Amino acid sequence: MKNAITKTNFNFPGQINLYKGKVRDVYNINEELLVMIATDRISAFDVVLPKGIPYKGQVLNQIAAKFLDATKDIVPNWKIAVPDPMVTVGRFCEPFKVEMVIRGYLSGHAWREYKQGKRTICGMPMPDGMKENDKFPEPVITPTTKADIGHDEDISKREIVESHLVCGMDYMILEQYTNKLFERGTEIAEKMGLILVDTKYEFGKVGDKIYLIDEIHTPDSSRYFYKEGYEERQAKGEPQKQLSKEFVREWLMENGFQGKEGQQIPEMTDEFVNLVSDRYIELYENITGDEFEKSDVTNVLSRVENNILEFLSKYKSSNK
């Protein structure tokens, strides 16, 4: 496990600050560039688990880079370069304080709300008579607040605009982009024999221009089902075969942990950590259709630092 990156603390030329998210470490370079390192940390129920997952950061970073390229005709995105398998460098954007969650199916959090009798989520109606993992008549956008600490909270379009988190005009554009990105993601998934169940997008601004930022269509930000057998499993009331990190949440719940106060995170054995690593590699290959090539992790922190420094040096020279 020593070859998994769980924390970084680099000091790059022009570095203004370092933001540590649940999974990513983001270095602000002169408020011009963001250097985003996809670490091997893993979170569930808004809690970062104690051990890193080898190759997880590479999986997430490379999936996100692929789908940023595959959607740049829909919305401009922040990505400039991928100088290392675990790193994306992009333009510095002022992020919107909401995450645009979109759901094509009644799963996960939406299902947990639904089975408690709720028929609206984030102000959006949910039809009566639905079963877990049924398809919604139309995809529903269910935004959340972006919490630096603790849990993200559901929020409605009206609440977003009234609290000035996003102005009405910008929010309308975010909704349009979200629907188009989900449509594209659904088409790509279908070609891979998958169903894109739900996902989230984050956006930011440079001046008056809106950019897609962060990750897109990764197994950390999205839920996928296998298309083959979906209808049969629904008809029989059986669980769907998933391609997401839901299996980690299920393992935690089986071991008595749901992120609630007073609960102890169960011990993550090396065997379990390696299993999760293998599952992430499987996710990569199923989602992208590409064979996963493990990067050299002999001295992974030095590799990442050197690749970033080399990129920043070349970038500075070419922008003099």
| Structural domains of the chain, ranges and CATH numbers in brackets | 15-92+245-318 (3.30.200.20), 95-243 (3.30.470.20)
Distance (Å, whole) CA 224 – CA 237: 18
Q: Which residue has the tokens 């540590």?
A: 20
Residues contacting 70, CB < 8 A, separation 6+:
184, 188
Residues 315, 34 contacting (CB under 8 angstroms): no
Confidence of residue 104 (pLDDT cuts 50, 70, 90): very high
Q: Is 320's pLDDT higher than 70? A: no
The predicted structure's pLDDT at residue 91: 96
Distance (Å, whole) CA 90 – CA 214: 9
HSE on the CB side for 38, CA within 13 Å? 27
Stretch 135-139: mean pLDDT: 97
Q: For residue 164, give the amino acid letter.
A: H
Confidence of residue 46 (pLDDT cuts 50, 70, 90): confident
The predicted-structure confidence for 248-283, as pLDDT tens digits, reads as follows: 888 999 999 998 888 999 999 999 999 999 989 988
Stretch 134-163: mean pLDDT: 88
Residues 35, 17 contacting (CB under 8 angstroms): no
Name the token pair of 24. Answer: 């990513």
Name the token pair of 136. Answer: 């919604």
Confidence of residue 244 (pLDDT cuts 50, 70, 90): confident
The predicted structure's pLDDT at residue 318: 86
Stretch 6-19: mean pLDDT: 95
How many of the other CB atoms lie within 10 Å of CB of 166? 21
The predicted structure's pLDDT at residue 292: 97
The predicted structure's pLDDT at residue 150: 55
